Amino acid sequence: MKTQQIRNSLILLLTAFIWGVAFVAQSVGMDYVEPFTFNCVRSLIGAVVLVPCIFLLDKINPQRDQASQALDLAGQKENKKKLIKGGVLCGVVICVASNLQQFGISYTTVGKAGFITALYIVIVPILGLFFRKKCSPAVWLGVVLAVFGLYFLCMTEGFSVQLGDFLVFLCALAFSVHIMVIDHFTQLVDGVKMSCIQFLVCGVISGICMFLFENPNISSILAAWQPILYAGVLSCGVAYTLQIVGQKGMNPTVASLILSLESVISVLAGLVLLGQKLSGREVAGCVFMFAAIILAQLPASKRAAEE
């Protein structure tokens, strides 16, 4: 059991690494193509990559497919409706989130974007209040620390918030809604299939916006093939599948903590690959934010221990 947990922890760490470096890919991609174009192509690639993953996971775990086949015709139709509904809703929300993030990265560093995006771990429990889910004192302390972190990260000496930081904060709000939508539908349908649909929907909507508001051309897309391919294949396709495999049998609190390391990795990746540096004030903001992220997970850990 311990060996499996170590293996799964390493898988989740690899997932966090892929997602953290993806911020660099998104930043570099903006040198060649505009935001809607980048997200259109990466999302469609992600959807295509997940198709063979679905067949592979069905072969590795036949119960996934057998459970669906065991339903009667009416049950299969209802299951398909839920799958499509969940995929479309997730696709719309993740389209909003990813495009806000992509626009935001144009105006801020990848390190700051990584930490502000990771705020979803703090925002989700707060949104849960609207569904009568209580927050513990540790979560509220995390919220206070997150506010301090945002202040040091985003507020300039003139007490103004940069456009990129504000857009990425809106992105964190959208990702929080995305997590809650996934939390609802993942109990009802196959998560990987739903993810495939969501990336397809995101790609189509981004594509429509691309043709309406941007001037896409093949040469620019081909010039950005490396960051687009990384974001599409590794960040969307591979990392999502690794998350599914890595979380199996893992304490969800521990899994969330490992995955939240993407914020730290985004800072290191921006430093090593792009030469982007954070000021002392911004480093202090990162420390506050990471402390908030960890605190947001402690109540779940306590509940798990009590159960």
Q: pLDDT by residue (tens digit) across 1-12?
A: 567 777 888 888
Residue 179 confidence (pLDDT) above 60: yes
pLDDT of the residue at 113: 85
Residues 6, 227: Cα–Cα separation, whole Å: 30
Split at pLDDT 50, 70, 90, the class of 175 is confident
Q: What percent of the chain has pLDDT over 70?
A: 82
State the Cα–Cα distance between residues 6 and 235, nearest whole angstrom. 22
The more confident residue out of 274 and 220 is 220
Q: What is the pLDDT of residue 123?
A: 81
Q: Tell me the one-letter amino acid at 75.
A: G
Lowest mean pLDDT among 51-55, 158-162, 253-257, 303-307: 303-307
* 106/246 Cα distance (integer angstroms): 32
Quick one: pLDDT at residue 274? 83
Q: pLDDT category, 135, cuts 50, 70, 90?
A: low
Q: How many whole angstroms separate alpha carbon 6 and alpha carbon 242?
A: 14
73 — pLDDT class (breaks 50, 70, 90): low
pLDDT score recorded for residue 306? 40
> At 62, is the pLDDT very low, low, confident or very high (cuts 50, 70, 90)?
low
pLDDT at 74 over 70: no
Q: What is the mean pLDDT of residues 242-265?
A: 71
- Mean predicted confidence (pLDDT) in 59-84: 70
Model confidence, pTM: 0.80
Calculate what percentage of the chain has a pLDDT beyond 90.
Answer: 30
Q: Which residue has the higher pLDDT, 201 or 163?
A: 201
